[in-house]
Structure 1
Amino acid sequence: MPVLIPPAERSQDTRVGAPAWREAAKAITQKAHHLTDRCGQEAVTMWQPKDSVRDPHVARHLCRAAYILPWRFRVEMLKGGGTLEKPPPGEGVTLWKGKMKPPAWHARLPLPLHRDARALQTAEVVHAHARGARLTAARLCRAQHQINGQLRLLLRQREATDRRLSEVRKGLLINQQSGKLRGYRPKSEKVPDKADSMLTWEKEELKGMKRKMEKDMEKSEALLKALASCRDTLAFCCKERLQAVDLMNQPLDKVLEQAGRHSWVNLSRVPSPRTQGQKTPPPDPVGTYTPECATALYEAKRLLMESKDTLLEMTKNEEDVREQQQEISDRVCASLAQKMRETLELKERMNMTLGLMRGTIHRCTKFNQEMYITRGLIKGPLSKRHLETREKLDRPLVRVYQRHVGTQLPEASRLAQGTDKLQRHISHMEKNLKELLATHKNLTRNLNCKKIGYEVDYNVVRLRLRQRHPHMCYEQAQRLVNDWDPRTPPRVESDAATK
């Protein structure tokens, strides 16, 4: 007979399974669900950006709205009362149709085209390095060309300065020649005058100009060496940069135009209005623009500015020295010409005085000769046979007067007194005539000295005008000074031998 189980007490839980059994199944299910969510989330987030991972503290249905909210266009109020929609700032593609701007995608796992992407990225790096090397080489090459141009300008200015220095040295030789030539003047004409002072002043001024030009030559020589060294450094750096762009056929000048500048050293030039100039990159030891290139370009820029200032200064000094030397030479020639005019005036006065003195000497000589004849006539004849009757003292009338006492006739005493007085006058006339002759001789000698002095000054002026002409070089003037000394007599033997 079947056994009947007594009916259990009626409860609210109608499930038959045990709670432990049910909890175990729920735990397994929950664990599987969490594992599925975690694996799915991790599988998705590995190739999504970091900012796209949802916040665990935000509800699941609100994560997407919170994530897309920054992508929406922003509405701005205008002053007139209207509105203007603008995309959010940042990188990314603007979707104007959807009024959204998603940010740039950055995956954390390599995508299927990762190898091609890395190859493209490597090619971009290589091309960027080549472009940087080409741009740096173009800058270095342009700086080298500008340094070469500055070197040529400096060399030309050095040639002009050297010619001016040669003219100054020739001026010193001309001054020395003038002093030596004026040494030919007679002793009476060697009295120090303003012409000698002007020659001394000219010598001191020319020495100052010579020192000034020599300093310019030394400064330009040092600058020339620095520019040449900088040019060699730029050429070496440019050659190194060009090793990376040997296979690139784009001209270097085109690179500078693409960079927006026609020169890298001369920054004062306005760039082309169609392109915006690129800023100078910072020096990078492992990049294309190395510190050595930066130092070389900075040195080129500094030397370029310094050379421009030096060129301006040398040009100004050369022009000032030329004008000053011309003015000094003209003033010396003017002083010598003034001395010649004064000498000519004195010479004319002396010549007139000599003419008057010559007439006086002739008259005095003639009068003295007549006095000698008169003295002979007064003294009477030398023989008694030449006596006339009226000259004898034993004439009858004279004898009658001689008989009376105290009646001494004055004929003999008066003749004796007249003869003595005439002799004294003749002696005084001879003395005066001697003084006239001595003075005439001295005046003639002074006139000859004045003539020699005038000729010497004229020859000095002529020599100075001829020697300062540009066709007369320094060596010719130097040979003239070395072969000529006024203190020594002319070499007649050598002249005869040459003839």
Structure 2
Amino acid sequence: MPVLAPPAEHSQDTRVGAPAWREATRAETRKAHHVTERCGQEAVAMWQPKESVRDPNVAHHLCRAAYIQPWRFRVEMLRGGGHMEKPPPGEGVTLWKGKMKPPAWHARLPLPLHRDARALQTAEVVLAHARGARLTAARLGRAQRQINGQVRQLQRQREATDRRLSEVRKGLLVNQQSVKLRGYRPKSEKIPDRADSMLTWEKEELKNMKRKMEEDMEKSEALLKALASCRDTLAFCCKERLQAVDLMNQPLDKVLEQAGRHSWVNLSRAPTPRTQGQKTPPPDPVGTYTPECAAALNEAKLLLVESKDTLAEMAKNEAEMREQQLQISDRVCASLAQKMRETCELKERLNMSVGLMRGTIHRCTKFKQEMYITRGLIKGPLSKRHLETREKLDRPLVRVYQRHVGTQLPEATRLAQGTDKLQRHISHVEKNLNELLAMQKNLTWSLNCKKIGFDVDHNVVRLRLRQRHPHVCYEQAQRLVNDWDPRTPPRGDTDAAPE
């Protein structure tokens, strides 16, 4: 007989399965759903950028709208009352039809063409490095050419300054020659005058000019060495950059112009009228523009500025020295010419005095000779044959006796007094004549000294004008000073005054 189960309690749940059994199945289902959703999201997220991953705090049906919202166009109001839609800023392809601009897609997994893409990227890096090396080499080469130009200009200016320095040194030698030549004047003409002061002043000025130009030469020599060292550094850096460039399909100048520059240091040329090109990259130890290149180019820029100022200063000093030396020489020659004119005036006065004194000496000599004749006549004849018939035998001697009337005769006394007076006049005339002759000798000696002084000053001026000619070099003037020994005037004619 069959056994019947007891009737179940009356309940609203008509399901037969146990709740625990159903909950276990539901848990397994939810777990499978979560795993499926997570794996699907992770699989898709590997092909999407990080920004596109759904936010877990946002509802699933709102994720897409929240993700697409930044892509839509923005509406901007205009002043006139209208509006204008603009795409959002940033990279990406603008979809004008859909009024959207999705950002650039960046996958986190390698795509099927990853190998080719990496090869293209490597090729771009290599080409960029080659272009950078070529551009840096072009900049280094341009800076090197500018440094070479400055070196050539500095060398030419140094040659001009050296020529001027040689002229100044030659001026010192000419001054020494002038002083030495004026030393051969007579003693009476060696009284210090303004011409000697001008020669001393010229010597001091020429020494100051020589010292200043030697300082310019030393400064330019140090700058020239620095420019040469910088040029060698630039050449070495340029050679290193060119070693990284195998194929150069464009000239370096063309590459530099493409970069928007005519000069790396931007000194020698005006800026290009084209749009400004690449800026100066920061120094990179592992890149093409290394710190050594940056230091070399900065040094070149500083040296170019310094050399430009030095060249201008040297050119200015050289022009000033040339004008100053010419003015000094002209002033010295003018003072010597003035001394020559004064000497010529004194020569004329001395010559006139000597002429007048010569006439007086002739008259005094003639008068002395006439007085000698008169004295001879007063003394009487020396022989009886010279006596006349009216003369007595004993005349002009008179025998004097105390007892004779002849003691009262005045003839002998008057003759003796006249003879004595005539003798005194003759002695006085001789004394005056000797004084006139001595004075004439002094005037003649002074006139000869003036002539020698005039000739010496004239020779000094002629020597200075000849020696300052540009064709006369420093060595010729030096040989003239060392070898030239003018004949010393005789001491008896110039140095010693007549007694």
In the superposition, relative to structure 1, how do residues 476 and 83 fare at CA in structure 2: closer, same or farther (>3 Å)? same
CA distance in 1 between partners of 2:320 and 2:330 (Å): 15
User: Does the 8 Å CA contact 1:180/1:485 hold for their aligned counterparts?
Assistant: no
Q: Equivalents in 2 of 1:266, 1:176: separation in Å?
A: 51
Q: What is the alpha-carbon distance in structure 2 between the residues aligned to residue 423 and residue 6 of structure 1?
A: 212
- Residue 199 of structure 1 aligns with an amino acid whose one-letter code is L
Structure 1 residue 214 displacement after superposition: 1.3
Deviation of 1:380 (Å)? 2.0
Any gaps of 5 or more consecutive residues in structure 1? 491-499
Task: Identify the residue that residue 13 of structure 2 maps to in structure 1.
Answer: 13
Secondary structure in 1 matching 2:475: helix
Q: CA offsets, 1:281-318, max 9 Å, x none?
A: 11111111111111111111111111111111111111
Q: Deviations over 1:200-245 (max 9, x none)?
A: 1111111111111111111111111111111111000000000111
In 2, Cα distance between equivalents of 1:462 and 1:370 = 53
Aligned twin of 1:335: 335
Q: What TM-score do the two structures reach when normalised by structure 2?
A: 0.92
Counterparts of 1:371-410 in structure 2, within 5 Å, are 371-388=371-388, 392=392, 408-410=408-410
Residue 457 of structure 2 is matched in structure 1 by: 457
Is the 2:146–2:268 contact (alpha carbons within 8 Å) kept by the matching residues of 1? no
Return the offset for 1:113: 1.4
Matches within 5 A, 1:271-350: 271-350=271-350
Instruction: Kindly indicate whether the alpha-carbon contact (under 8 Å) linking 1:258 and 1:275 is maintained by their aligned counterparts in 2.
Output: no
CA contact (8 A) 2:184 2:489 kept: no
CA–CA distance in structure 2, aligned partners of residues 317 and 393 of structure 1: 105
Matching residue's letter, 1:421: K
Does structure 1 residue 228 correspond to structure 2 residue 228?
A: yes
Shift of 1:394: 9.6
- 1:272 is displaced (CA, Å) by 2.1
Where do residues 405-420 of structure 1 align in structure 2 (5 Å cutoff)?
408-420=408-420
Segment of structure 1 superposing worse, 130-139 or 369-378: 369-378
Alignment partner of 1:80 is 2:83: no
Contact persistence 1:183–1:486 (CA under 8 A) = no
Residue 494 (structure 1) aligns with = none
In the TM superposition, residue 17 of structure 1 has moved relative to its aligned partner by: 2.2
Letter aligned with residue 468 of structure 1: R
Match of 2:62 in 1: 62
Identity of aligned residues (%): 88
Match of 2:141? 141
Q: Residue 92 and residue 271 in structure 1: after superposition, are their counterparts in 2 closer, same or farther (change >3 A)? A: farther
1:275: Cα distance to partner?
Answer: 2.2
The count of aligned residue pairs is: 485
Which residue of structure 1 aligns with residue 496 of structure 2?
none
Partner letter of residue 96 of structure 2? W
Give the distance between the partners of 2:287 and 2:463, measured in 1 at CA. 69
Alignment of 1:266 with 2:270, yes or no, is no
Give the match for residue 435 of structure 1.
435
The reply to whether residue 249 of structure 1 matches residue 252 of structure 2 is: no
Following superposition of structure 1 onto structure 2, how do residues 167-178 of structure 1 map, counting pairs within 5 Å?
A: 167-178=167-178
TM-score (normalised: structure 1):
0.92
- C-alpha deviation, 1:457, in angstroms: 0.7
Q: Tell me, what secondary structure is at the counterpart of 1:476?
A: helix
- CA-CA distance at 1:249 after TM superposition: 1.8
C-alpha displacement of 1:174: 0.7
Q: Is the 8 A contact 1:271 1:277 kept in 2?
A: no
Give the residue type in structure 1 aligned to 2:266: N
The 2-side partners of 1:216 and 1:83 are apart by: 72
Letter of the structure 1 residue corresponding to residue 368 of structure 2: N
Shift of 1:481: 0.8
SS of equivalent to 2:76: strand
Q: Secondary structure at the match of 1:75?
A: strand
Partner SS for 1:84 = strand
Cα distance per residue 1:107-148 (max 9 Å; x no partner): 111111111111111111111111111111011000000000
CA separation in 1, counterparts of 2:488 and 2:187? 16
Distance 1:265 1:216, change over 3 A: same
Looking at structure 2, the residues matched to 102 and 19 of structure 1 have their Cα atoms a distance apart, in angstroms, of: 50
Quote how far apart the aligned CAs of 1:193 are. Answer: 1.2
SS of the aligned residue for 1:85 comes to strand
Q: CA deviation at 1:267?
A: 4.7
Q: Distance in 1 between matches of 2:168 and 2:270?
A: 43
Find the aligned partners of 2:380 and 2:47 in 1 and give their Cα distance.
168
**More divergent stretch after superposition (167-176 vs 479-488):** 479-488
Task: Report whether the alignment pairs 1:200 with 2:200.
Answer: yes
Task: Identify the range of structure 1 (208-217 vs 430-439) with the bigger mean alpha-carbon deviation.
Answer: 208-217
Structure 2 residue aligned with 1:93: 93
* 1:13–1:353 CA distance, 2 compared to 1 (3 A): same
2:43 match: 43
The 10-residue stretch of structure 1 (439-448 or 3-12) with the greater mean CA deviation from structure 2: 3-12
* Residue identity opposite 1:42 in structure 2: E
Query: 3-state DSSP class of the match of 2:101?
Result: coil
Q: Give structure 2 stretches of 5+ with no counterpart.
A: 491-499
Q: Which letter does structure 2 place at the counterpart of 1:227?
A: L
SS in 1 for 2:84: strand
Residue number in structure 2 paired with 1:31: 31
Change (3 A) 1:255 1:324: same
Give the counterpart letter for 1:188 in structure 2: S
Shift of 1:8: 3.8
Match for 1:141: what amino acid? Answer: G
Local SS of the residue matching 2:85 = strand
- Alignment-derived partner of residue 117 in structure 2: 117
Letter aligned with residue 299 of structure 1: E
Q: Displacement of 1:149 after TM fit?
A: 0.4
The 3-state SS of whatever aligns with 1:219 is helix
Secondary structure in 2 aligned to 1:76?
Answer: strand
Shift of 1:269: 4.6
Structure 1 window deviating more from structure 2 (265-274 vs 164-173): it is 265-274
SS at match of 1:123: helix
Cα deviation, 1:164-222, whole Å, max 9, x if unaligned, reads 11111111111111111112211111111111111111111111111111111111111
Structure 2: distance between partners of 1:235 and 1:310: 24
Tell me how far apart the structure 2 counterparts of residues 442 and 258 of structure 1 sit (CA, whole Å).
93
Could you report, residue by residue, the CA deviation over 1:80-117 in whole angstroms, capped at 9, with x for unpaired residues? 32222222122222222222111111111111111111
Q: Deviations over 1:459-496 (max 9, x none)?
A: 11111111110111111111111112358799xxxxxx
Which residue number corresponds to residue 105 of structure 2? 105
Q: CA RMSD in A?
A: 2.4
**Partner residue in 1 for 2:213:** 213
The DSSP-based 3-state class of the residue aligned with 1:464 is helix
